[in-house]
Structures are given as structure tokens and as C-alpha cells.
Structure 1
């Protein structure tokens, strides 16, 4: 299998565990500082590059006091991603830090779960806790993409390329999806925000912002089953600061210290 994954860190912030975990005081653990790193992912199939999420925009980061380590536009360019080649773009869910730069890919097909698209397109987000999680301009861009016929939606699973598949798990958002990638080092689950932190996943400590708590727990269970039965060898978190080191932070290259590779 020729698929290779590049994990790219483009931003960071600092918070506390009571900020990021749901009902943290009930666990009887100290409220410690915790970092949150921001990633997007690239899948090189040998024939094409698939972009998984696009990071937060300059406006989205500034509105939330996030720190850029590299602008996503510059990171894509440094890693050889040419928007003019119309790379496939996969959206794991439609929060600001995952769809903030869709406009960099004006001719790409964009794939996301139907439940995610319908939630945001219906206006339900304006009546629920998620209204703060996306910029108006980003929702407008999604609608523009849909209007141009470039949006592909799926119900439960979608085959993207040989050895690359999206699976909707829900939980964090209605259409939260993971991307399964077969590599030379085994199948990898790009969990995105189905698993923000490894502590969250390993200790069943849900993230603070959740659309469907039972579905979030079910997502943890599914990923654990996949690991236990060998379906998945590696789970890649969406925000854990240990992620790059777990998979081998690359010290040189075009983005020194900001990437890791699998496969």
C-alpha cells in the first residue's frame, strides 16, 4: 500500500482541563494546564494528494486568540499542495479550525457527512451551542461550494480512493467523521475531533463541546474495537500536543518540527 500520511501542526493554544473536558470536577482530578495543538492532514496516494481539513483562517484564529505556528496557506505550499490541481478535500466536521481555508481550493471537490452538512445548512447551529464554532464567512463558503456542485455528502461511509475511507461517528458534531487510511505501517484512523486528546479516549473523559454524548462514547468504543481486533493500528488525535512526537516529529524538511509521517 502506497498511501502515506503527513500530520501537519499549524497552530496552538493553552488552556486548562476544566476548559476542555466535560464536567471535569466530577473526576476528582486537579485542574491542570493543558495545551491544544491544531492540525490538518495530507494523504499521498502515489497518484494524488488528499487534503483532510484545512485549518482555521486568519480571522477565525484572531477571533479566538489562537496562535499560528505557520499559516495553512504557507504550509500547503511548502508541502507541495497545489490548489490549481484541485486536490480532493475531506471535511471531518465543520468547525472553524477544520474549514477555515476551504477558499484556498476553489475547484476542489469537498466531501463531508450528510448529517454535518444538513445541520449547518439548516440553521440549527444558530439555535444551539455551536454558533460560536464557525465563522459566518466559512458557512457562506460551504454554501457556495454546494451551489457550485462541488460538495459530495455521504450517509455512513464513503470510499475516497483505494485504501482511503471516511466513516461518520457523530458525537462531537452530528456528522463528525474519521478517515481510515491503509498504509505500509497498517491502517490509520485519522480521528480528528472524535478524539481530541488521548487522555479523553483512553479514560473516557469526553470533550466539553458535544452534540450527542452517547454517540461520542460510542465513537470511543468503535475505535477501541478497531484497535483490539486489528482493524486499526494507529489512532491519530485531533488536538493532542503529544501527537507529532508519537509518530516521529520531523526536525528538518520544509516545516521543521511541525510535521510527522506515517507509512
Structure 2
């Protein structure tokens, strides 16, 4: 698609709301050395915004999950959105890349939203796989109960593999990390950017073909690296789900948002 004749591009933002430090290499890569220091994880929600559409991508987690899992919560995701001038109470479209606790908590902070999720993720997170403690560990049962209640209220939109939500924004299931994980391909002024979420936690995962240890299907996860490369205009157009480097590579929208939000619709400072 030409930048001249395509749809109106989206502004695209990452908002950091939490972090987890003290990690080892084997916390981030299957086969990593437990004696080597590993990258911290930053926790993000994302926003795609233009004159006629606004999508929030993921809803993060709150204080209770932070306490239970030993994460450092900087602010609630809804508060981070407010600093970008977005009221969570007014948001009507939320994309959930998957239903793990750090991506699908705080659903109640979005009382008007329709939530977009892959049907396979709903089946995975409520089905037989949850009999296994290893697979259910990344989920919070109360988040899943909230999700089921929202479904009964008619506020869940289910998708099957690939869906165009708007001209210039599409959903694509990759699976792997979770049964129905989806990535979001967004048309911006610099071309096609992919919010990869946990299809790749860190740049190093997909660039070095290394699997993150929290995984449902390793083969699908590795295949997903090819998918996000195919969907993005370049490796610099892939945005990983938890890499602290995102906050260093991209500029803040304003000085007041330094360390809180960065723009992803402009090129990174370096490759």
C-alpha cells in the first residue's frame, strides 16, 4: 500500500505501566543460562488512534496482580491512558491480544468497550488445557470470570484467524505463547507496524529465534516469528510485547510523557 493513496494513518503509542526486574537469561529464553543476567520486562498497553477510530490494545493488570506476582506497578493502565488524553470510561473498542493476566486485567475500567479476542483464545483459557498448572499459571481466574461475564453481556467480539477491524488495522492469530494469541497490524505514516505483543516478548526472541519459556505450543511460537516479519514493513516495524528498549528507541509524544509513553508511528532512533 502506498503511503500516498492508503487510508488515513493511525497514530500509534506504547504506554508503560509496570516492570519486572532481577531476571536471568533462562527466564526469557528456553535454554538460556541461569547464571547470566536477563533483560527486565516492561509491561505495556498500546493505542492506535486517528480522526475516526480509537483502539486500545490490551488492558494490563492492577495492584492485586502486581502484589501476587511481584511486579512493580507504576500506574494503572487506565491512568496511563489518561495522561495521553484518553478516558478509559469512554473507550468503545479494546483489542485483547490474549487473556493472560498482564494483558486482560482491569476489564472493568472500560465500561463501554467491546472487547475483540480470538475465539481460540477463549476456548483455550476456559477449556481442558486449564487443568494443567503450567498452562493456567499466566491466567488470573478472576480475569477469566470477568471475561465470561462480559461475553454473557454481549460485549465480546470473537474473531477467527484474520480480521480487518478498520481500513489500516487488522488482527492476525499466531498462537504459540497462548492458544489464541493475536498480533495487530497497523497502518501508520511510516508504513505497516505490527504490535506483536507476546508473539515476541523481547527483540532478542524473534531476531535470534529463541522461544520464551511461558509457552503453549513452541512450533506455533517459532512460526509466529515468520508471520510478524511478513506482516511488518521491516524488523524495525515489529514492536515486541515487553522489551525495555522500546522506551529508549522511540520518542515520547511530549516532555511530560517521558518514561510513560512513546510514539511508534515514527522511526526508531536507531535500528
Deviation at 1:87, TM superposition (A): 2.2
Contact persistence 1:187–1:233 (CA under 8 A): no
Question: Relative to structure 1, is the Cα distance of residues 143 and 235 closer, same or farther in structure 2, using a 3 angstrom cutoff?
Answer: same
Measure, in 2, the Cα distance between the counterparts of 1:43 and 1:226: 17
Cα distance between partner residues in 2 of 1:84 and 1:258: 20
1:10 aligns with 2:13: no
> Equivalent of 1:238, from 220, 233, 241?
241
Query: Does the alignment pair 1:260 with 2:265?
Result: no
* Other-structure match for 2:250: 247
Runs of 4+ displaced beyond 3 Å: 230-233
Q: CA deviation at 1:68?
A: 1.3
Aligned-partner SS, 1:11: strand
**Matched residue of 1:96: which SS?**
coil
Residues 21-100 of structure 1 aligned to structure 2 (within 5 Å): 21-25=29-33, 31-100=36-105
SS at match of 2:239: strand
Structure 2 CA distance for aligned equivalents of residues 153 and 210 of structure 1: 22
Is structure 2 residue 177 aligned with structure 1 residue 169?
A: no
Q: What CA deviation, in whole Å up to 9, does each residue of 1:90-121 have, x standing for no partner?
A: 00011000011111112210001111011112
What are the equivalent positions in structure 2 for 1:132-147 lying under 5 Å apart? Answer: 132-147=137-152
Cα distance in 1 for residues equivalent to 2:125 and 2:79: 28
What residue in structure 2 maps to residue 217 of structure 1?
222
TM-score (norm. length: structure 2)? 0.89
The TM-score, its normalising length taken from structure 1, stands at: 0.91
> For 1:53 and 1:96, how far apart are their aligned partners in 2?
10
Contact 2:80/2:260 (CA < 8 Å) preserved in 1?
no
Deviation at 1:127, TM superposition (A): 2.5
Q: How many residues align?
A: 257
Q: Quote how far apart the aligned CAs of 1:231 are.
A: 7.5
The alpha-carbon distance between structure 1 residues 232 and 162, as it changes in their structure 2 partners (threshold 3 A), is: farther
Q: CA deviation at 1:177?
A: 0.7
CA RMSD of aligned residues (A): 1.8
- The Cα of 1:248 is off from its aligned counterpart by 2.2
Query: Unaligned stretches of 5+ in structure 1?
Result: none
